[in-house]
Structure 1
Amino acid sequence: MPDTVDAGTRLLESLASGASPADLAAIDVDPHARDLAMRIAGAFDVQRRREQQLAALVDTARELASMTDPSVVLDAIVRRARALMGTDVAYLTLYDPTNEDTYMRATAGSVSAQFQVVRLDFGSGLGGLVAQSRKPYWTADYFADARFMHTSSIDGAVGDEGLVAICGTPLIVKDEFVGVLFASNRTPRPFTHDEVALLGSLAALAAVTIVQVRAAEDSARTLAALSEATERVHQYAAGIERAATAHDRFAEIVLEGGGVDDLTESLTQLLGGWALLLDEDGVLRSVAGASPPTADTLHDLAEQVVHRAEGARLTRIGDVWAVAISATETRIGYLVIGDVSTMDESDQRTVERAAVVTALVLLGERNRAEARQQQRTDVVAGLVSGHGDLGVLSAAARSLGVDLREPSCLLVVRRDDGGPARSLVLAVNAALGGLGLVGEVDGHAVALVPGTDPGPAAAELAQRLSRTSVVTVGAAGPVSEGAGASAGRLLEDLAAAHTEALRTAEALVALGRRGDGASAADLGFAGLIVGTRPEVAAYVHSVLGALVDYDASRGTDLVGTLEAYFLAGSSPRHAATRLHVHTNTVAQRLERISRLVGDAWQSPERALELQLALRLRHLVAS
């Protein structure tokens, strides 16, 4: 009896200390009591495992609850599944409602790239059957299990990963199918009902977490979208306010008769940065704002703007914005904006609206300028026509800056590149700096400028204009009312001066001096032909004056010697015979002539001038 009691006590003590069934089997006790103790120990083991699994699920729930990033949540789920199930690999597929299949989303322990991107159609493979039936399935040997529809893509991916035993359970939340959670081994392994239930519990927890995270993410996106929409509304309202301010300011400029400088200044006040207005050729018209382009960089910028800014919409050109200004389909300028921090749609519309207003201002300026220019043209045309009311014309000329009571030179500018006369008139006005009266007569620009020396005035004007175009300038004058001069005489003088200046310009072209400027007196003997009132005596004196003055002061006859020399066919010996002097005397006189009129006097052109002057000298004397 005591031995039996001792054995039973040892059995109970071992059971209480948590001995394993194997340890209990070694105790020498009644078999029935030992079997009962082993069953109790087994129940204890199951209870402990369930407690451990429950604790693990609680830890998993706590971990998942702290996560908000969907990718991190999914990775945590498969990592926990692999640890709880004690498998080689765990993975999770998500439902794709668009394609009606599931796709691999997260893995733990996977090494195959092919496996990590596999998709499972509903009904295909173990995972496809779980997705279709919404029930868990498991197998100890997948490839040998005929319950599943084997496909080459799925079997290839499973084989590439080396998986054999697979257990899958659906992720479902309130009848919403989310995906499938798997635990797999690379060796055959049967899954117990407890393990399947454990994976199912983890799947239920994971499904709820996934749905909650998605909902939170959707809410965050909705809030972000709402915030963005609110910001856009604020921006739109601010843009409307800026647009209204811009509209009011532009309207104020137009109504008050403001100019382009007011517009560019207003743009910089509205947008910041700097603003430029270029004309149709890229020449700067107006500038406003801080730190605009320097002269060194302005040329290149203007060239880019002229070639790239098209239409009425704002265009980004490097670091600047530009818009073309047009009127009646004609390009009349460009607006350029720079150094602006931002340029939203409202700001762009503001610049485009400014371009339209600028077009109106430029057209107004052009119309006023054309009206003023037409007035000038009418006055000039009336003066050179030879008839008209001199009193009215003279008063109009004085109001436009030219007093006909003072000497004036008349210049005719002909354009040799075929450009329009209007632009030529504008160019002449600019070149003269507003000094003088310029108009268009018969397709040429005609200018009355104060002064008494027409030749240099014409040459200087031709040189200034040559920077942009090829022009030839003929000049005549000076003319003036003078004391006691009749009105008819002045108008006749102006008409004659106009004719002479025009002939001089044509003569310059005929003589190969296109692009030059001169008066008839500057053309030598050709000036006698084009001049309306040839000054023969003045011409003779300009050519022979040095010889005539020398003869008068020294009592010599250099003029007679020169004439005899030409009559003798430029032979000193024959000239000596005609003059009844020695040949050496003629040679000495010719040397003196060279010193007085220049060594080149025997060149064909200069010799012709001298011979013509000698012939005209007899005409003047008679």
Structure 2
Amino acid sequence: MTHDQAAHQAVDDILADQLTLMTLLAESAPASQVLAVAESIAKRASTESARGRLREQTLRVKDLLDRRARRDRDLSALFDTAKDLASLKDLTAILTAIAARCRELLGTDLAYLSLIDESGTETSIRVTDGTVSPLLQHLRLPLDVGVGGAVALTGMSHQSSDYLGDERLGHNDDVDSAVAAEGIRAILGVPLKVSGNLIGILFAAQRAPRTFAAEEVEMLSSLATLAALAIEKTQLIDRSREALVEVEGAHAVALEHQAAIDRSAAAHDLFTAIIFRGGGLEELATALHDVLGIPAVILDADGHVLASVGFHDHPRDLPAVPPRDPDAGIPATAREGAWTVIPIDAVHDRLGALALLHPELLSDVNGRIAARAATVAALLLFWRRSVAETSDRDRSAFLVDVVSRPAGVESDRPRPAAFANLPDGGAWHVYAIRSEAPERRLLAALTRQLSTNHMMHVRYADELIVAFWSPDRTVAASDLAPRLSDELGDDVTIGEATSPSGLGGLRGAYDEATVCLKTLVTLGRRRTGADRARLGVAGLLLSESRDLASFVTDRLGPVLEYDRRRGTDLILTLDAYFRAGRSLAETAQTLHVHPNTVTQRLARIDQLLGAGWRDSASALDVQLSLLIHTVIEGLDTT
């Protein structure tokens, strides 16, 4: 090979080695390979100094390229982290992702993140990654202890290559115990800041001594910046969501309040309309039920139902009407079982109560609506009482005039307006009542039992005189007196009579009723009632008319009518039965019939007169009626 050719070959070899060197540098090849090629080139240098400079520059280029490659990887990792954090909405998920990425980027054994609490005096570890002991999880870190304390004090990153032996840092037993349990030696902490304010600390830790490079500190600081922004975004979203919930809640409250106002206004309009058109308690109870949707009942002062609505049947297990406390102010609503009870008061009198069947306490709005209904009920009851008292005075004056005039003298007083449309010949009944029960309660109970609005009453000569009109007398005094006695808890004794000629015959009916009452009292038959017919012999003796034929008809009328229609002679059997001392055998012998025939005839008489005719008192009336009937029949045939 010529000299020129050898020179050219040497140049080519150098160029080839340089190309190989640049390729290795570009591919981030290991330093040993780069140095091997660099040595090959350096051997051709003319001096040792040139060869040294070549090796030095080669290593500098290698290091620069490595750092740039690492920075590119770090930036790529940070970019990926930013994308991942942006997709997360939950704070815990974000914190967990940050800790995992921190451990991945720095290649540490574990990572954890703490946030400053509301007091600003300590942080609490929120998430960990790579821990093996539970002591570190949820540990509270005072701001003057450890690496975290140094970060909080300076606002800058801080590290310790061997934490437990680092006397520069503050220590406490809880933190040191947790660090020892994890086997942690080296710790790096960087601040999490939002708008310059420290909100937490991000930690990377190693279970072996380690000094973190500046690039690693910078990387973790960059990650902390991204983490702080993600945390701030999440907290802003959470606060926005909470604010939205508050706004929606306030809106819902406003709507509910407006609905309550609308319902209250609707109830007010309904109640006012009832007052103006003179409606009653049933209409009020129905309106209240329409507004509240709750079964309601209005009670009088004695606890009796005046109106009810919303019940499948009659309301049961009714609450008691609370007694009125004269020293109390506004009547208080009370709970009794499932009932809400609102007193109904007028001036100084308790008129009754409004009771609502509801398992829970009424809301404020519903409570005010119910209280307003109770006020309207008080107005209606008071108005009804006032009208009734005015009408009662008119009726009582008429009745006083009737009963105080001598018998046979017609009253010249005009009949009460309330009775203007009643037929003059209607069925007027008179009760003479003696009882120690309060008159108001007695009249209220009597009104309920009689189911009539056409009634007048007056206290006269120590008795309560009641006259009422009814198309048919549905309740006899004999049934009414014990009922009223039981209800009022006091003896109620009633004498009864019927006016044969409407209002014009009230005086005679009054006289007869008072005679019946006095007879019952004289005979000691309290807590009962009777008309003249039911008094039997006593009624006949006390009667001024001594109407014997009517007495016989009252006692034996059904038997006499049966004999007349059927052509039988049961009256003869009845007479023979008493003459034989109620002996069936002797009666049969007297009538020349079999005893079974007598038994059958007596059974028929039971059907006609009622089974009670054989009792001692009734039997006497029947025997006397038989005697009078025989005498009258004898007189008629002579």
Residues 552-579 of structure 1: CA deviation (Å, up to 9, x unaligned): x99x9x989988x99xxx99xxxxxxxx
Residue 493 of structure 2 is aligned to residue 477 of structure 1 = no
Matches within 5 A, 1:186-335: 186-230=207-251, 232-233=253-254, 236=257, 239-240=260-261, 243-244=264-265, 246-264=267-285, 266-267=287-288, 271=291, 273=293, 276-280=296-300, 281=303, 283=305, 285=307, 287=309, 292-295=310-313, 299-300=315-316, 303=318, 324-328=342-346, 330=350, 332-334=352-354
Alignment equivalent of 1:19, drawn from 18, 29, 40: 29
Q: Structure 2 vs 1, CA of residues 8 and 63 (structure 1 numbering), >3 Å: closer, same or farther?
A: closer
Q: Secondary structure at the match of 2:168?
A: coil
Q: Which amino acid aligns with 2:467?
A: A
Could you tell me how far apart the structure 2 residues matched to 1:472 and 1:237 are?
A: 56
Report deviation, 1:601: 9.8
Q: Which amino acid aligns with 1:54?
A: L
How far apart in 2 are the matches of 1:21 and 1:40?
11
The answer to whether the Cα contact below 8 Å between 2:402 and 2:411 also exists between their aligned partners in 1 is: no
2:512 is matched with 497
2:162 equivalent in structure 1: 141
1:398 and 1:134, CA in 2 relative to 1: closer, same or farther beyond 3 A?
A: closer
Gaps of 5+ in 1: 572-583
Between the aligned partners of 1:264 and 1:427, the Cα distance in structure 2 is: 22
Q: Structure 2 CA distance, aligned partners of 1:586 and 1:539?
A: 26
Cα pair 2:516 2:535 within 8 Å, conserved: no
Deviations 1:505-550 (A, max 9, x none): 5468x347x4x54324323345457767766786689789999x9x
- Change in 2 beyond 3 A, CA 1:118/1:382: farther
1:103-502 correspondence runs (5 A):
103-230=124-251, 232-233=253-254, 236=257, 239-240=260-261, 243-244=264-265, 246-264=267-285, 266-267=287-288, 271=291, 273=293, 276-280=296-300, 281=303, 283=305, 285=307, 287=309, 292-295=310-313, 299-300=315-316, 303=318, 324-328=342-346, 330=350, 332-334=352-354, 336=356, 349-386=368-405, 390-393=410-413, 395-396=415-416, 399=419, 408-413=428-433, 420-434=438-452, 437-441=455-459, 442=462, 444=464, 446-449=466-469, 457-459=476-478, 461=480, 474-480=494-500, 493-502=508-517
Q: In the alignment, residue 423 of structure 1 is paired with which amino acid? A: R
| Partner amino acid, structure 2, of 1:283 | V
Residues 507, 284 of structure 1: CA spacing in aligned structure 2 closer, same or farther, 3 A cutoff?
same
Matches within 5 A, 1:556-595: 588-589=589-590
TM-score calculated relative to the size of structure 2: 0.71
Distance of 2:556 and 2:369 partners within structure 1: 73
Kindly state the Cα deviation for residue 126 of structure 1 after the two structures are TM-superposed.
Answer: 2.6
* Superposed displacement of residue 119, structure 1: 1.1
**What's the counterpart of residue 576 of structure 1?**
none
User: Which residue of structure 2 aligns with residue 578 of structure 1?
Assistant: none
Alpha-carbon contact 2:613-2:619 (below 8 Å) kept: yes
Whether the 8 Å contact between 2:482 and 2:492 is mirrored in structure 1 is: no
Contact 1:163 1:184 in 2 (8 A): yes
1:325, 1:359 within 8 Å by CA — same for their partners in 2? Answer: no
1:93: how far off?
A: 1.3
* CA shift in 2, pair 1:586/1:345, >3 Å: closer
**8 Å contact from structure 1 (residues 473, 517) kept in 2:** yes
Superposed displacement of residue 20, structure 1: 0.9
Q: Note if contact 1:170-1:203 (Cα within 8 Å) is conserved in structure 2.
A: yes
Deviates most, 42-51 or 72-81: 72-81
Are the counterparts in 2 of residues 314 and 352 from structure 1 also a CA contact under 8 Å? no
Aligned partners of 2:318, 2:353: CA distance in 1, in Å? 13
Amino acid at match of 2:387: R
2:278 match: secondary structure: coil
Q: 1:85 aligns with which of 83, 89, 106?
A: 106
Q: CA deviation at 1:205?
A: 2.4
| TM-fit CA distance, 1:174 | 3.4
- Aligned residues: CA RMSD: 5.2
Quote how far apart the aligned CAs of 1:221 are: 3.5
2:531 to 519, 522, 535: 519
Q: Is the 8 A contact 1:455 1:518 kept in 2?
A: no
1:504 and 1:519 in contact (8 A); partners too = no
1:145-188: CA deviation from partner (whole Å, max 9, x where unpaired): 22222222222333444433322112123331211111223444
CA–CA distance in structure 1, aligned partners of residues 84 and 306 of structure 2: 69
- SS in structure 2 at match of 1:294: coil
Gapped regions of structure 2 (runs ≥ 5): 1-6, 43-50, 323-329, 564-568, 607-611
- Aligned partners of 1:410 and 1:477 also within 8 Å: yes
- Residues 613 and 346 of structure 1: CA distance in aligned 2, closer, same or farther (over 3 Å): closer
Give the Cα–Cα distance (whole angstroms) in 2 for the partners of residues 293 and 316 of structure 1: 18
Whether the aligned pair in 1 keeps the contact of 2:398 and 2:415 (CA below 8 Å) is no
Contact 2:274 2:280 in 1 (8 A): yes
- For residues 355 and 129 of structure 2, the distance between their equivalents in structure 1, rounded to whole angstroms, comes to 62
When the two structures are aligned, how many residues end up with a matched partner? Answer: 576
CA shift for structure 1 position 123: 0.6
Residue identity opposite 1:148 in structure 2: L
State the one-letter code of the partner of 1:421. Answer: E
Mapped contact 1:322–1:335 kept (Cα < 8 A): yes
DSSP 3-state at the match of 2:28? coil
Counterpart Cα distance in 2 of 1:518 and 1:511: 10
Aligned to 1:54: 75
- Find out whether 1:63 has 2:73 as its counterpart: no
C-alpha distance after superposition, 1:317-354 (max 9, x if no partner): 97xx9662521473623264999xxx976565444433
- State which drifts further: 23-32 or 120-129: 23-32
Q: Aligned residue for 1:581?
A: none
Matched position secondary structure for 2:137: helix
CA distance in 2, matches of 1:407, 1:248: 43
8 Å contact from structure 1 (residues 455, 517) kept in 2: no
1:590: Cα distance to partner? 9.8
Q: CA, structure 1 residues 476+306, in 2 after alignment: closer, same or farther (shift >3 Å)?
A: closer
Is the CA contact 2:552–2:626 (under 8 Å) kept in the aligned structure 1? yes
In 2, Cα distance between the equivalents of 1:562 and 1:463?
Answer: 32
Q: Is the Cα contact below 8 Å between 1:474 and 1:503 reproduced in 2?
A: no
CA contact (8 A) 2:452 2:469 kept: no
Moved more, 587-596 or 402-411: 587-596
Secondary structure, aligned partner of 2:127: strand
C-alpha contact 1:394 1:403 (8 A) present in aligned 2: no
Q: C-alpha distance in 1, partners of 2:422/2:482? A: 23
- Distance in 1 separating the partners of 2:377 and 2:411: 40
Q: Percent identity between the aligned chains?
A: 30
2:68 alignment partner AA: Q
The change in CA–CA distance for 1:42 and 1:438 in structure 2 (over 3 A counts) is: same
1:585-606 superposed Cα distances (whole Å, 9 cap, x missing partner): 9995599998898999998667
Give the TM-score normalised by the residue count of structure 1.
0.73
**Shift of the alpha carbon at 1:609?**
6.2
Which deviations, in whole Å up to 9, do the C-alpha atoms of 1:84-132 show, x marking residues without a partner?
2222322221112426221222333345444322211221233233223
